[in-house]
Structure 1
């Protein structure tokens, strides 16, 4: 089981995910579940927006 990423890991990991999507290394069957998970992340970030100034 992979270790839980720390806050310092996320920018790199999301960049790697973007590269894998661009390269076609994410199966078409997985795209909608990845998109749903990213939607949850964006929603969480938007909830933080008032605190981000």
Structure 2
């Protein structure tokens, strides 16, 4: 992102299936403490593909 943080999006492959995200520091050392944002919970199953995100 413009301020050097990292936008991480990922498929959540447990019920409720969906897409989640975290915004990490530039070094990605705060994964365990970063707030998890639930973007979607309407996945039809565990095969969610490979989500991607953009900060622009």
Superposition TM-score tier, normalisation by shorter sequence: under 0.3
Q: Which has the larger radius of gyration?
A: 1
Normalising to structure 2: TM-score of the pair? 0.24
Determine which structure has the larger helix proportion and give its number: 1
